[in-house]
Structures are given as structure tokens and as C-alpha cells.
Structure 1
Amino acid sequence: MRISDLRFLLAWLLPLMTLFGILQAPAQSALWTLGLWIIIAAADVWLPGGGRSPGPISAPARLSYFRWVLRGYVPLQLVLIAAGAHAALRSDWLTLLGVAFSVGFITGSQGITFAHELGHSKSKFDRACAWVLMSSVCYGHFMVEHYRGHHPRAATHEDPASARRGESLYRFLPRTLWGSLASGWQLEAQRIAQFKSSWFRSPLAWSAAGSLMPFVLAALYFPAPAAIKIIAFFAAQSAVAFLLLEVVNYIEHYGLQRRQQGRRREAFGVMHAWNADHLLTNSMLANLQRHSDHHMHAWKAYPSLAALPGPQLPTGYAGCLMLAMVPPLWFGLMHKRLDALQRQAAPTSS
């Protein structure tokens, strides 16, 4: 193992710091989370050498360590959610919302990112871990829609999770939230019919039941004021988490389009996803920003992904999340890049 391999353990730093903050000073947890977000975004821009991550790793003997970085995070997330619920019980409503934001920021950034990677694994254990993580943020349909819907349809108008040029984040969110939910359940219904299975054996149905359990248990075992707080906390942290996911989806394919004729789509290529190779964000997000290579080789383990010379974001995901929330600023930065890509792709006239 090389020293550079340890950088992916930075992904545990944020949840551990958030856990400590919630236990010690829950009223300040939201401010700490916002501060960390800004620091990461700034480091992507100004950290010397921070715009480039180490190259891909392919040695099989080293890949086991990288899998356990993801697996080891799963119980950490469950502890974090439990600690957040405990803090919410003892807090006023403003503090409760702050704690939910802090927990949701982690379950959305680290948790969903790791679930995404584990879900691409061929290991049944890894995929079970992914279902646990997605169920804990009430977004189990991602486990169907992402792999069987988004990957075949990414960068086309058929994909609810691919943003179109000129579409603001606030127009995109309702479309992707409803479209992804509907598509996930439709794809699962098709699978059940195709294999003559049943909803009783559907992991999506069990995930939905698992997501409902905190609400049911809170209502059954706590007095009304406490139950309402637990339910509000769990719902709020889930909402923060999956909204964060969808903002990342907005960024990843914004304005990029694969050619399509009838049902035939152009093969996914390097030009159909936005990339960034910033060291700190890639270390915390399991190389998610090397997105073109991920779509072109979906079974590649995250340390094996390469930085390809495709469309490049103005900064890492941490900064782009903020930029996307201000549509005029986002459009101003991204449309220049889209126009440059279009000129680059245009055939040279003789």
C-alpha cells in the first residue's frame, strides 16, 4: 500500500467530525457543516497541487483495502443517524433542523456516493450494504433507477437525472425527483414480470419497508412530542441527502447530449459527462468526479478510474454545488464551456 492510498480514508473524517459536533455542540452543528463545505470548496481551488489527483490503481492485491474503506463506512452512518435522532430529542426545533442538515449532508455526500459505488460491485455483500445506505435516506429506488435507468439513458432527454442546457437547478429538481421515483418502480415492476417473481421478493419493496420503520417505531414507542421530533429529524436528514444527490446529478451531465435516432443511442463517450480531478473532493467522494470513465466502464472500482480529457467543470463538486444554486452564475460559467465543446466537435469546413 502506498501513502497516497490513505487519502480515501479522508471520507471518514467528515462523518466522524460531524458525529463529534452533534454530541458536543448540536446547536452549532449546522454552522460547522457549512464551514467545512466552504473550506473544501476553497481547497479545491487554492490548495497547491489540489487540482490533480493521483493516477488510477489497478493492482488486485490493493483493491481489497479500498472496498473495506466503503464497507467500514456503513455502520458509521447508522451510528451517525442514531446520534442525530438522540440529539434531536433533546433539542429545540431550530437545533433539530441544524442537526438534520449536518447529518443529511454526510448521508448525502459520503453515504449516497458510497452506496453508488457499492451498488456497482459484483459482490452481493456490497450491494446489500448499498441497499442499507439508500434505505437509511428513504431513496431505495435509486438502486434500481441508477443502474438500469440512468446508465443506459444518461445524457439523453429520456433520462430524468440528466439536466438540459438552460434548465435551472430549480426546474430540474421536480423533474428528476418524480421521474427517477416513477422510473425506478416501473423498472422493478418490469423485472418482476420478466422473471415471474413477486413484490414480496423485491429488494426495492423491502427497502421501502425499511425506510418506513423509523417512522413506525417512533410512532409506536415514543410519546407524541418525542415521536414527532424523531420523525421530523429522519425525514429532514433524508431530504437533505437525496436533494444533495440530485444537485450532483444536475452537475454531472448538464447540457451534454448523446445523439439518438429512434431507439438507438450513440455509445456513451468521454464527451458525455463533466469531470473534475480535484484531490480533496475526489478523496472524499471515491473518485466520483472521474465521471466519464465511470460511465464508460461501470464495473471499474473507484481507485481504478482515470482522469479523462473530457468536459471539465470549473471547480470540484463542492464548489459546483454552490454555483448551481445561483442559475445566472452557473449558466454564465457552463454555457461558455458548452459552446467551446460544440465548436471543438464541429467539422472543419474546407
Structure 2
Amino acid sequence: MWKYLKFCLFHALTLPFFIGVSLGGLWMALGLGCLLLVIVAGDVLAGDDKTEPDYHHSWLLNGLLYSSLPLIVLLFFSLLWSVSSQDLFGYGQWLHQWSGFDALAARAQNQWWHYLPLSAGAALLIAMVATVPAHELTHRTSNRLAMLVGRWLLAFSWDSSFSIEHVYGHHRYVGTARDPATAPRGRTVYAHILYATLGGNISAWQIEQNRLARLKQPLLSYHNRFLRGVAMSLCLCVLAYALAGWQGLLLFSLCALLAKATLEVVNYIEHYGIERPLNQPVQPYHSWNSTKRISSWASFNLTRHSHHHARAQLPFYQLKPYPEAPNLPTGYLGSMLLALIPPLWFRLMTPKLAQWDQQYGGQGARR
């Protein structure tokens, strides 16, 4: 049973965030602190997960994916409650009756700088609870429910276009100059966030424009999935303003933008410096992999990225660890933190890229 329950880790990691919002003040850093401690330190202490268990109850794992939608809705409302002038849905009063703790009084003492770690923690959770399951669901292009839920999950980071560009663009052009998500050698993560965000949206628009032209459908219409995705995010913005005013809209916007940036940091570490000729089939060595146990459990095996790119149609629970594939310095969150310090990141990745060139450069890598 543990092989199923381990993927509930992302549920558990939301609890410190909800507790921190309720307690207010310095406690609002609790969510961020627990994420960093559990995932980064857990990857160091818990080692690697190279197991390949058989799963006979895939409905349980699919249920965990779909459960991310109500979970992210709760996170969304907790953010708005923290800055609202009202007691949204009577949460503060309910908590006072149940525990005796006056959450409304605690909220009234919050200072603006308490929201900095709260926003960072919320962004990481949106990326983990919404974007990662959405990545899995939007690969199931023939499943209308999976696509609908996946795109709504992406709307919380203003990034429903990811469901277009990632599936039909990134997986086709990964490792080439035509892929906005692949960072060339020497590019910093901060430059990549800007390049990838702009390039990804342009690519998604062009993909959708070409699709509608083939179907002889009007570009500016309901048939345009890019525009429908924008409308989804706008609905959330309107809801944020209706429930918590400008403060709620600004806080949600900040967290959504940071969550989108987090996705591009993930893309950065997954593909930094990898080079592939456009006419060469995608191989497991065309992305960076990780076998760290906690990162894998917290991300529905997203760390098994080499197999994902080699066999993109496979569900997450069938991905193999591929320990022989090119490996990141550590787990995902740890590698993301390293990438935020460009000199350190380049120092660690330069010898890894030299090794990659020696092993795979002779197989047609673009120079």
C-alpha cells in the first residue's frame, strides 16, 4: 500500500501552509520552511528511489491527480482570506469555535513583509500541487476530463498555454534552438525565465493558430484553446478581486507569476545545455534526470524525466528511474536553489556537460 500512499506527500506538505496562514505573523513562513526542509534535506538524507513497482490499482493514483484541484482551490481561498477585510466563508469564526484560537485577531496583526515568505511558499505549492499534476493530465490528450482539470490547474499560474506548447512544441523540439524551454549553455536562470515565458506563449499561439487554420475555424473564437486558457485565469482574477479586493488580486497575481517562474526554473534544470539535432529522435540522454526519493514522491515521478521524454505517452507510475541517464547534482528543489546562484550552477554543470559531450556528443549533438 505504501507504493500508493507515497504520492500523497504533496497533500501533506500543504498542511504547514494552511497552519501558517491561520496563525499569521511569522508563522506564515511555515509553509515555505517545511517545503525546503522536507524536500531538500529529505533528498540528501533519504537517498535514491530506483524501484519499479507494479501498480494494479491505477484508479487510486489517478484519484490523487484529480484531488489536486480541490486542494489548490483551498490554497487559493486561504490566500484570499489572509488579506480579506472579511471573514471569508466564516473560516476565522469556525477556527475560533473549534480551537479557541482567535485567527481574526492574529490576521489583523500581519505586516506586509509577512507576505513575502507566504507568497514564495504559495508559489512553490501552486507549482507542486497544480502544475505538476496538470503536466501529467494534459499529456492525456484524448481524455476530455483530464484536459479540462489540467487546464484549470494551470490557470492558477496564468499558464494554460503550457498544455499546448509543452505537448505539441516542447516534446517535439526539446534540446534544439526551436525549443523555448531548453536553456542554452551560459544562459542564467533569470534570463531563461523571461525567454521561456515569452517564447513559450508565442509558440503556443502559433501552434493553436496553425491547428485552427487546418480545421478551418476562426482564430478569434471559442475554438481557440489559448484564448480560453486566458479566460480561465481572468475568471480567477475576477474572483480574487470579488472576494478580497485589490489586495487579494495583487497577492494572487504575485503568487501566480512566481509559480509560472518556478515552472521555468524546473524547465531550466531539466534541459540546461542539452543539445540535439532536429532530425535526431529524442533519447533518454536528452534531458537531466534525478532519482532522489523525496523529489520523486512529491512530484509524481517528474524527476524520471529522461524516460518521460523518451516515452511521453506513459503515465507517471510506469516511468523507470533510468539511473544511467545524465543526472542532476541533487533533487529537483535542491537543483532549483543551486540554479538561483548562477556562478555555483555553472561551476557544477560545466563538468557534467563535458561528460555529456564525451558520452553523447559523438551521436550527433548540435555544436
For normalisation by structure 1, the TM-score amounts to 0.90
- TM-superposed CA distance for 1:207, in Å, is 2.0
Distance 1:214 1:132 in 2: 10
How far the C-alpha of 1:197 sits from its partner, in A, is 2.2
Identity %: 30
Q: Which residue of 1 aligns with 2:94?
A: none
**What's the TM-score, normalizing by structure 2?**
0.86
Could you say which residue in structure 2 is the equivalent of 1:208? 230
Is 1:54 paired with 2:70? Answer: no
CA–CA distance in 2 between the matches of 1:17 and 1:239? 22
* Structure 1 position 131 matched with structure 2 position 125: no
Equivalent in 143, 160, 171 of residue 191 of structure 2: 171
Which amino acid letter does the alignment assign opposite residue 158 of structure 1? R
Q: Equivalents in 2 of 1:281, 1:46: separation in Å?
A: 12
- 1:253 partnered with 2:257: no
Give the alignment partner of residue 281 of structure 2, picking from 254, 259, 267: 267
2:75 is matched with which residue?
Answer: 80
- Aligned 1:208-247 pairs, distance under 5 A: 208-219=230-241, 221=242, 226-247=244-265
> Which runs of 5 or more structure 1 residues have no equivalent in the other structure?
none
- CA spacing shift, 1:306–1:81, aligned 2, 3 Å: same
Residues 1-350 of structure 1 aligned to structure 2 (within 5 Å): 2-25=1-24, 27-47=26-46, 50-57=47-54, 59=55, 61-89=56-84, 91-121=110-140, 122-198=142-218, 199-219=221-241, 221=242, 226-260=244-278, 265-308=279-322, 309-345=324-360
2:101 counterpart residue number: none
Q: Unaligned stretches of 5+ in structure 2?
A: 86-109, 363-367
Cα pair 2:17 2:28 within 8 Å, conserved: yes
Q: CA deviation at 1:243?
A: 0.7
Code of the residue aligned with 2:199 in structure 1: it is G
Give the drift of 1:62.
1.8
Following the alignment from structure 2 to structure 1, what is the Cα–Cα distance between the partners of residues 70 and 62? 14
Distance in 2, Cα, partners of 1:212 & 1:201:
17
CA–CA separation in structure 1 for the residues paired with 2:340 and 2:182: 16
| Cα distance between partner residues in 1 of 2:347 and 2:174 | 23
Q: Deviations over 1:174-223 (max 9, x none)?
A: 1111101111112111111111224212333222112112333455x46x
Partners of 2:3 and 2:53 within 8 A in 1: no
| Structure 1 residue 54: Cα displacement | 2.4
For the residues of structure 2 that align with 1:275 and 1:251, how far apart are their CA atoms? 9
1:144 and 1:175 map into 2 onto residues whose CA distance is: 17
User: Hey, what does 2:104 align to over in structure 1?
Assistant: none
Question: Measured at CA, do residues 69 and 53 of structure 1 come closer, stay the same or move farther in structure 2, by a change above 3 Å?
Answer: farther
